[in-house]
Every structure is written in structure tokens, then in C-alpha cells.
Chain A
Amino acid sequence: MTVPIAAYLALSLGLLVLGLIGVMRRRNPLMLLLSVELMLNAGNVALIGFSRQWDDPSGQVFALVVMVVAAAEVVIGLGLTVAIFRNRTNLDVDELSAMKG
């Protein structure tokens, strides 16, 4: 590897932070899920980077598992979003605060 692993990790960190900012700031549930996808991808980058560095397939295996889980999560997440927000006028997660202290 000519590009040091640190670069990949820095990229991963940047993507993660971007995703976090998205999760915290966005009120549209769909945008929230998109930001979560970003974060998952950041994780994948780090995993595959390390897999290359240590020459071990485990990293890639795990990255594939992450992708599968991401897919499942998006399915359920979108299904829930549709189920909840079909009959509401606003797409806003702040509306969903029925359980409050």
C-alpha cells in the first residue's frame, strides 16, 4: 500500500463525522436514514482498509455482513417511516415524542 492506512482512517473519520452531523441536524426521517448510511460506509472503509493492511479476509467478511445488515435496516426503517408518516402532514421526527418524561 502506497497510501498509508492513516489516510483511509482519516477519510473514514471524516465520513463518520459527516454522518453524525446529518443525524443530529436532519429532522426528515428519510434524511436521517441516509446519514446513517454514510456512517455505515465509513465503518466499511475502515474495515476494508485494515483488512488490506493485515492481509486478512476477516475485515472484508465483516464489511459484507455490515452491508447486509444495512440493507435489512433500511428495509425496516423505510417500512416504519412509511407506516408512521403515511397519514401525517409533516415529515418530522420531532413529532414522534409521545414517550416523554
Chain B
Amino acid sequence: MASTTHRCWGTGRCRVGEQVLFAVAAIGTLGFGVGVVFFKDAFRAAVSLIGTLLSVALLFIALLAPFAAAIQVIVYAGAIVVMFLFVIAYLGDRGALPGPDRLDRWQVFGWLGLIGLGMFGTVAILDSTAGPARPAPDTTDVGSPASIGDAFLSSHLLAFEVTSLVLLVAAVGAVVLAKGAVQGEGGR
């Protein structure tokens, strides 16, 4: 499909739909995010991450970026989290170092930092409410695979090539690390 128009858009009902979608996705994101950060069990944390990632995909859809949403689900939730799960299965049983956290006394600085960041963020957000000269269009081509592909191959060609290089590096790195591991265990 060339454009992503929906029949209800342009009428008042889809507005509400968008807001509902946003609310659900937001709750999911934050809720599962809390789970990621605060679950003690590694497996549960990884599964919470899946939830977070799917919620973010919903957000992308609300923002009329279906291709990004699709990639999010496939790459992130599909590949990355699976890798995590594999490693957790391999390593996950081991616990942390015994004894108290050595950095406990400094965590006040961390909290201060977060508060500062929060303040900055708030100001930035409030600043952004100034809004653009023209409002965002209700329907748009931006977000379709064609549009993104076009952007990648014309104005963002360098980013495209660099990305491929990064993937190559990652692949090579993975092979090297794996080889080391295999040799460490007596294989070749």
C-alpha cells in the first residue's frame, strides 16, 4: 500500500483511538520497564523486556511508523531477547558477589544525577511544546517501507553503509569470541 490512510481518520473517533492506544502502550512500557529493572530473577527480567519491546512497537504504530514497528518486533523482541535468553540459560544461575554493595555510600550522587536529568528533561519537554509552524499531517507517506528505503538509499546512504559495516564487525567479533570460548574448552 502506498499510503497509510485509515478510514476513520479525519473523523473524531480515531483521535480517541490514538489516545487509547498511546495510554495502553505507555502503561505497558513503563510497567514492563519497572519489571526489567526490579526483577531479581534474570529470566523474568528478560521476559519483561519482551513486554516492553512490544509496547514500544505499539507506540511506533501510533506514530504511523509501521515499518519501524515491524523491525522492532522482529529484530529486538525476536532476535535480541532470544539471545539474552540463551545466555541466561547458560550463565544465569550464578549469583552476585557476597557481601554488601561497595558503592552504596555513593548512590546519593547517582540519585542526584537522576534528579538533575529529570529536571533537564522536564524543561526540554516543556520547551518543545512550542510546536512547529505547521501541525503534523493526519496522513503521511513517511513511515512506509518505500519511504524509508528511499531515504536510506538517497540522503542517508552513508548511514546505510556504516550500518552494514557495523553488522559485519559484530559478526566477526562474535566469531572471534566464540572461537576463544570453544578453544578454552578444549575444542578447535
Contacts and interface: CB of A to CB of B under 8 A. Distances in A.
- The answer to A–B direct touch (Cβ < 8 A) is yes
Interface string A48-75: 1101111111101111110111111111
The 4 A-B residue pairs whose C-beta atoms are closest, nearest first, are A72-B170, A79-B177, A22-B37, A13-B121
How would you classify the secondary structure of chain A's contact residues: helix, strand, loop or mixed? helix
Nearest to B42: A30
A71 B102 CA distance: 31
Interface string B40-81: 001001100100110010011011110110011001100110
B72 A80 contact: no
B52 A48 contact: no
How would you classify the secondary structure of chain B's contact residues: helix, strand, loop or mixed? helix
A60 B71 CA distance: 11
A1 B136 contact: yes
B94 interface: yes
Interface string B11-47: 0000110110010001001100110110000100110
Interface string A77-89: 0111111011111
Contacts, number: 247
Contact of B88 (A5, A30, A61, A83): A30
Contacts of A89: 94
A11 B115 CA distance: 16
B10 interface: no
Given A9-B128, A71-B75, A91-B96, A55 B140 contact: yes
Interface of B: 15-16, 18-19, 22, 26, 29-30, 33-34, 36-37, 42, 45-46, 49, 52-53, 56, 59-60, 62-65, 67-68, 71-72, 75-76, 79-80, 83-84, 87-88, 90-92, 94-98, 101-103, 107, 110, 114, 117-118, 121-122, 124-126, 128-129, 131-132, 135-137, 140, 142-143, 147-148, 150-152, 155-156, 159, 162-163, 166-167, 169-171, 173-174, 177-178, 180-181, 184
Interface in A1-44: 1-11, 13-22, 24-28, 30-31, 33-35, 37-38, 41, 44
Contacts of A2: 15-16, 18-19
B132 A60 contact: no
Given A6-B129, A48-B63, A28 B42 contact: yes
Nearest to A7: B22
B177 A53 contact: no
B111 to A, nearest CB: 9
Given A34-B46, A72-B166, A89-B94, A80 B177 contact: yes
Given A1-B135, A64-B71, 7 more contacts: A7-B26, A13-B118, A20-B114, A61-B156, A72-B169, A83-B177, A86-B184
